[in-house]
Amino acid sequence: MNRDVFQALADPTRRAIIALIATQALTPNAIAENFDVTRQAVSKHLRILTECKLVKQEKQGREIYYHLEIKKMKEIELYLEKLRNIWEGRHNQLDKLLNQLKTSK
């Protein structure tokens, strides 16, 4: 199943998980300790984040550690930067138009 990355990011728990593993890789149990939800709920969030390629798994011995997928986060950042540039350009155009209307009165 191909999930939408922005739908995955829309969930506050998933955003909190991303923030939690941004600085260090953690096991699902270590992640779950930071939330007032079941271990199964955290596993579901991790599965969705993994399907969206926002996090990746790394097996170390018997443990699985989750890491933030920096490359995917960079892709999202670049996409949002393009949108921000469009919004700022439109805002600047509106400012110019309003200034022209103000001075023509």
Helix (H, G, I), strand (E, B) or coil at 52: coil
pLDDT of 43-91, one tens digit each? 999 999 999 999 999 999 999 999 999 998 898 889 899 999 999 999 9
Q: What percent of the chain has pLDDT over 70?
A: 98
- For residue 5, count other CB atoms closer than 10 A to its CB: 19
Phi, psi angle pair for 72, to nearest 5°: -70, -40
Is the model's pLDDT at 1 over the cut of 80? no
Do residues 53 and 69 lie in contact, with contact meaning Cβ atoms separated by under 8 Å? yes
Residue 27: what pLDDT?
96
Phi, psi angle pair for 102, to nearest 5°: -65, -40
Pairing mode of beta strands 55-60, 63-68: antiparallel
Q: pTM, whole model, 2 decimals?
A: 0.77
